[in-house]
Amino acid sequence: MYKIALLKGDGIGPEIVSEAKKVLETIANVQGIKFEFTDALIGGCAYEKYKKPLPDETVKIAHDSDAVLLGAVGDWKYDTLPPELRPERALLGIRKELNLYANLRPVVIFDELISSSALKPEVIKGVDVVIVRELTGDVYFGTPKGIEVRVDEDGNGVRYGYNNMIYSEKEIERIAHVAFRTASSRNKKLCSVDKANVLDVSRLWREIMIDVSKSYSDVELTHMYVDNAAMQLIANPRQFDTIVTGNIFGDILSDEASMISGSLGLLPSASMSDEGSVALYEPIHGSAPDLKGLNVANPIATILSAAMMMKYSFKNEQAYEIIFNAVKSTLKDGYRTKDIFKDGDKLVTTTQMGDVICQKILEAR
């Protein structure tokens, strides 16, 4: 029996998590395992009930679970709230509460979707990259931060906004070990992305990466400045196998990498802590409030996030492969949600996409 916390969130979150739950129930039926699902509120829907985006009850449910599956948070109607009450603060909060310092974002191009990418087929065919993003440090969490009024040389009050980009060597060391272990299990190539030519924090980052690399002689470590990495991801993404970088750089680069696959709706992620701790799985896209209730959102990223849950939290590689292959088979047969649909494809709704994937899992028995 595995306990899974379902944090559906806002916008399309409930719709896509429902499809991932359906897939998990199907794989449980196929493999004879059991799941216990518990719903909890996060984001705007939590604010509506508790006047806070991350209620204590939700944190407790997450801690008491074996894994967490999250949809998305946010809605434009909450943009006028104070920063600490906005739905997005819940994401930072749950990562801190569960100590989720390592975020794994695989970027795989399905042959069936090469035409959906904005890049040329010869550039993206065969791309298989994992971005390891540090998740609990950097400018998103650094202090001091804020907006304040300062008096300029003319005696006028001028507003200044500031954030502190900061990492301790221990924070860098632990994400480095995750990245090296990930690279070691793949093609043994790790590219560390920083801005060491300008930023002191990046110079420390690079120094620690080099120190940790001495414990992983089987892995080739290279370094790249983040602006160059952004260009190289588009120009020649196949040169990368595993990338490790800080919080803000990883946020930007992984979203950029989604365009390799053709849609944000295709990319899953896993946010993890130390071995044996609760991990959180979620699609990398947002809540898309304009699509809420229309049954058109792509659930594949959330379904693949559930597949990563089976692999990393429950150590069930077979279940991961079954789900992944079911998605691949579904795409091969031409089923597409609106975001990746082209003339000649079979247009399906969110619910129908989930149904087809579940059927593929059953057929694979």
Widest CA span in the chain: 76
Token pair, residue 199, equals 């930023």
Catalytic-role residue among 39, 64, 227, 290:
227
Residue 310 DSSP label: H
Token pair, residue 287, equals 């809540």
Find out whether the peptide bond into 144 is cis, omega within 30 degrees of 0: yes
Residue 46 DSSP label: H
Tell me, yes or no, if 312 is annotated catalytic.
no
Amino acid at 62: A
Catalytic-role residue among 10, 138, 251, 339:
251
Catalytic-role residue among 140, 189, 225, 345:
140
- Among 249, 205, 260, 242, smallest CA distance to 227 is for 249
Tell me, yes or no, if 333 is annotated catalytic.
no
Tell me, yes or no, if 251 is annotated catalytic.
yes
Partnered with residue 70 across adjacent β-strands are 7
Catalytic-role residue among 10, 75, 167, 195:
195
DSSP alpha helix (H) spans, the chain: 13-31, 44-50, 56-63, 88-97, 121-124, 169-184, 200-213, 226-235, 247-261, 300-312, 317-332, 350-363
Tell me, yes or no, if 140 is annotated catalytic.
yes
Catalytic-role residue among 22, 66, 96, 255:
255
Tell me, yes or no, if 227 is annotated catalytic.
yes
Where in the sequence numbering do the catalytic residues fall?
140, 195, 227, 251, 255
